[in-house]
Amino acid sequence: MKSIEDLGDLQGKRVVIRCDLNVPLDGETITDDGRIRASLPTLNALRDAGAKVVVLAHLGRPKGQVNPKYSLAPAAKRMSELLGVEVKLAEDVVGPSAEALVAGMSDGDVVMLENVRYEPGEESKVEAERQALADKYAAFGDVFVSDGFGVVHRKQASVYDLAKKLPNAAGKLVYNEMQVMKQLTEDPARPYVVVLGGSKVADKLGVIDNLLQLADVLVVGGGMAYTFLKAQGYEVGSSLLDAENIETCKKYVEQAEAAGKKILVPVDTVVSPSFPSGDGPFEKTVVDSDKIPSDQMGLDIGPKTAALYAEAIKGAKTVFWNGPMGVFEVADFADGTRAIADALTQVDGLSVVGGGDSASAVRNLGFSDDQFGHISTGGGASLEYLEGKVLPGIDVLG
């Protein structure tokens, strides 16, 4: 996999770069600009080299339709502020506005095309449709740089097909992400602890299958924990339950025991009569995990579990974490996720926050990026790589 340093002299060349600017919005206000910040090292390097930089990115799921709700305008505005240079946003993706802006670029300029997912060909399952759109992207550039790690697991026109059309390289973000992923999968320093949260076991089956071979300890939290508790025969009340995978969870526990590994599940749980809505404060109780009332739901790991998990994490040399421990968006149910984040900051080794909700959680809870070894910008891509899957957007790079 080539880096941008392998592309040679970029002075005056047009570089089409795929970034991941899929930031969370509250109206038009960006609530977490981490992905934009993560794109800056590559963008600055390209500008310093005298390149004309054409940014491709997406926001949300407009499903091939132009929808102002998903405009990249907030991302272009924030990128302008962070770069200290105007990032001009085209009114379309591959139409007259995009063509005019790209044609008028000077060395060091940055132009952003509108949301690539406005184009039906971007996510098409028909290769010819993606190729046709990729040809239009390629007409804007001399070289292609892949720097959107959050989309490299997608076979999409701006991620996969475009890379076949132009000389290509990985941007600094993608290159660094892949180095970290290799550290997690190729002879990781031990003890190796994997922390998995989030809602459903089904979302993490492939990861658990693969990481039970690699990791020493698997720590389970979030909504998926209740399926593991149910597998032990416990009452889980109205907690989130992936009923189809109860037997699978039993097998995972047996498999871990046979291999001399540990799967840690919550020993106590924060429960409430209903899912929180409104401003709160909310009724909540801490109970042992084998005593969850039938009319209550678990919304966070309890303090004993938080301490148990933190101890396992702090004693590790490699930690990968993906998925919150509870409903962290609500302060009353954020303590478990905060405890995991705090423990990761104390790891004497490699600590990796695996993108998605976990990355948003640590920032929203007041942690800074530099307190962790690495915060991934791609939750889905990270998980698929850890499952052992081939990432099309990486595989295609020369």
Side chain identity, residue 364: N
> Is 360 annotated as ligand-binding?
no
Tokens of 7: 């592309």
- Name the token pair of 226: 């209740």
* CA–CA gap between residue 71 and residue 118 (Å, rounded): 9
Annotated binding residue 97: no
Q: How far is CA 338 from the centre of its chain?
A: 18
Residue 388 in marked binding region: no
Q: Tokens 């005593």 map to which residue? A: 291
Best CA proximity match to 379, nearest among 220, 182, 207: 207
- Check whether 61 is labelled as a binding-site residue: yes
Burial-class residue 243 by CB neighbours within 10 Å (0-12, 13-18, 19+): exposed
The Cβ-side half-sphere exposure at 224, using a 13 Å CA radius, reads: 25
On whether 34 is known to bind a ligand per the annotation, the reply is no
> Considering 121, 302, 354, 356, which one is annotated as catalytic?
356
Q: Is 96 helix (H, G, I), strand (E, B) or coil?
A: helix
Bridge-partner residues for 300, per DSSP?
270
Sign of CA dihedral 56, 59, 63, 64: negative
Q: Strand, helix or coil at 169?
A: strand
Cβ pair 148, 19 in contact under 8 A: yes
Give the Cα separation of 201 and 245 in Å (integer): 7
d(Cα 94, Cα 43) in Å, to the nearest integer? 21
Residues composing the chain: 398
d(CA 113, CA 55) in angstroms, rounded, equals: 6
Asked if 356 is an active-site residue, the reply is yes
Q: Is 20 annotated as a binding residue?
A: yes
2 among the known binding-site residues? Answer: no
**Selected catalytic residue, list 37, 77, 88, 200:** 200
| 204 has binding-site annotation | yes
Say which residues have a Cβ less than 8 Å from residue 324's Cβ, sequence separation at least 6.
197, 198, 221, 222, 336, 337, 357, 358, 361
355 is in an annotated binding site: yes
Q: Greatest CA span in the chain, whole angstroms?
A: 67
The phi-psi region of residue 330 (left if phi > 0; otherwise alpha if psi is between -120 and 50; otherwise beta) is beta
190 is in an annotated binding site: no
- Please tell me whether 298 is known to bind a ligand: yes
Inter-residue contact 379 to 357 (CB < 8 Å): yes
**154 carries a ligand binding annotation:** yes
Q: Which residue in 121, 323, 354, 380 is the catalytic one?
A: 380
165 catalytic? Reply is no
Say which of 14, 35, 172, 230 is annotated catalytic. 35
Burial (Cβ within 10 Å: 0-12, 13-18, ≥19) of residue 45? middle
59 assigned binding-site residue: yes
Residues at the binding site are 20-22, 35, 58-61, 117, 154, 204, 298, 329, 355-358
Which sequence positions are flagged as catalytic?
Answer: 35, 200, 356, 380
Residues at the binding site for substrate are 20-22, 35, 58-61, 117, 154
Residues at the binding site for ATP are 204, 298, 329, 355-358
Residues at the binding site for (2R)-3-phosphoglycerate are 35, 117, 154
